[in-house]
């Protein structure tokens, strides 16, 4: 069997439409090649490519010019955190105007089409992409996320760090803009969206950090501060805790998987030494600390809660 003819360069790593390929001189027989798959009608993608809802979404936008990438697919585009049950779902979500009869015909394998009224401010156009705004995406996902998952989503949307931080970060939106969009909506799930917004804070870098903060507060401990900077006397280096209890001089660091890297491990040791030099106590939390439950006066709680509470109690005694 002869090897398949190579595709034009512009198509090799993309999800493309049949018409795009034909316009570039690709034959219909070539489009039936075993090295290509059809993720949806009139679309082709290399069979060697990893499943990618965003690649398929880009092809669908070519086929349906009025469509807007929305819901969890929009969250992927904005690089917002989603629970695994949604990130592992390959279905592409598109929103189309309620008055558009085309919406009724977007019935495709692997595609969920939502007929909905989108306000002008609900839509963002970035190059070849048309995607719902982060505010609208937050609202659309409210019916399918738990409260904690919604808070993590909101935290990611409003997260910002000043320019003097090692990793400055610009916010995608603000709590006020999220509140205003939810206030003007009567969509399904809007009550849950509003309730979760009351728990959203600026400065949380990841969903586990959000989960940790919520666990601590629900256990009756003080709410920690975010975006705190520890200045060490006589040192130019500073420490940036994930969570900080200023009154108790306790900081909490969530160590994700990348902290197993040898270089990161050395940096973490230096960070701990600097924290001590600043007169603070560091509590290091792992993913297991969020999952493993231990006895507590209120019942079984994640181990992270006990570790933080023990540090706060010890510091309260020491600082008397």
Q: Residue 258 pLDDT > 90, yes or no?
A: no
Determine what percent of the chain is predicted with pLDDT higher than 70.
94
* Least confident segment among 5-14, 124-133, 309-318: 5-14
Both tokens assigned to 30: 């070539």
To 10 degrees, what angle do helices 134-141 and 147-158 make? 180
Asked whether the CA dihedral 115, 116, 121, 122 is positive or negative, the reply is negative
User: What's the whole-model pTM score?
Assistant: 0.88
Which pLDDT band holds residue 99 (cuts at 50, 70, 90)? low
Query: What is the distance of C-alpha 195 from the center of its chain?
Result: 19
pLDDT value for 198: 97
Q: What is the mean pLDDT of residues 108-126?
A: 90
Residue 252: partners with Cβ closer than 8 Å, 6 or more residues away = 212, 224, 241, 242, 243, 244, 245, 282, 283, 284, 285, 308
pLDDT in tens, 23-40: 888 888 888 888 888 887
pLDDT in tens, 204-239: 999 999 999 999 999 999 999 998 999 888 888 889
Q: Domain coordinates of the chain in residue numbers?
A: 1-49, 205-320
CA distances from 142 to 75, 180, 308 (A): 12, 15, 30
The phi and psi torsions of 76 (rounded to 5 degrees) equal -65, -40
- As a whole number of angstroms, the distance between CA 6 and CA 11 comes to 10
The CATH number of the domain covering residues in 205-320: 3.40.960
Q: Residue 194 pLDDT > 60, yes or no?
A: yes
pLDDT in tens, 133-181: 999 999 999 999 999 999 999 999 999 987 777 777 889 999 999 999 9
- DSSP class per residue in 249-301: TEEEEE--GGGGSHHHHHHHHHHHHHHHHTT-EEEEE-HHHHH-EEEETTEEE
Q: Residue 132 pLDDT > 60, yes or no?
A: yes
Which pLDDT band holds residue 106 (cuts at 50, 70, 90)? low
- DSSP class per residue in 226-239: SS--EEPTT-S-EE
- As a whole number of angstroms, the distance between CA 252 and CA 230 comes to 12
């Amino acid at each position: 069997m002869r090897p398949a003819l190579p595709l034009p360069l512009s198509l090799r790593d993309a999800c493309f439409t049949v018409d795009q390929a034909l316009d570039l001189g690709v034959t219909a027989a070539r489009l039936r090649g075993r090295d290509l798959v059809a993720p949806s009608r009139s679309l082709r993608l290399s069979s060697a490519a990893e499943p990618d809802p965003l690649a398929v979404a880009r092809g669908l936008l070519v086929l349906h010019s009025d469509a807007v990438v929305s819901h969890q697919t929009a969250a992927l585009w904005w690089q917002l955190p989603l629970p695994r049950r949604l990130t592992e779902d390959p279905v592409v979500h598109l929103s189309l105007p309620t008055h558009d009869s085309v919406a009724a015909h977007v019935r495709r394998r692997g595609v969920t089409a939502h007929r909905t009224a989108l306000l002008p401010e609900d839509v963002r156009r970035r190059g070849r992409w048309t995607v719902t705004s982060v505010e609208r995406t937050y609202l659309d996902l409210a019916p399918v996320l738990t409260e904690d998952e919604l808070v993590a989503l909101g935290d990611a949307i409003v997260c910002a760090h000043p320019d003097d931080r090692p990793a400055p970060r610009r916010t995608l939106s603000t709590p006020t803009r999220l509140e205003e969009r939810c206030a003007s909506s009567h969509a399904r799930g809007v009550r849950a969206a509003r309730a979760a917004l009351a728990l959203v804070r600026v400065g949380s870098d990841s969903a586990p950090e959000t989960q940790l903060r919520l666990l601590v507060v629900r256990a009756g401990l003080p709410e920690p501060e975010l975006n705190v900077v520890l200045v060490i006397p006589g040192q130019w280096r500073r420490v940036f805790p994930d969570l900080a209890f200023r009154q108790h001089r306790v900081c909490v660091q969530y160590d994700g998987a990348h902290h197993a890297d040898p270089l990161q491990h050395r940096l973490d040791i230096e960070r701990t030494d600097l924290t001590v030099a600043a007169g603070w106590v560091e509590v290091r939390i792992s993913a297991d600390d969020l999952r493993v439950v231990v006895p507590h006066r209120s019942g079984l709680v994640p181990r992270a809660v006990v570790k933080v509470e023990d540090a706060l109690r010890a510091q309260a005694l020491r600082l008397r």
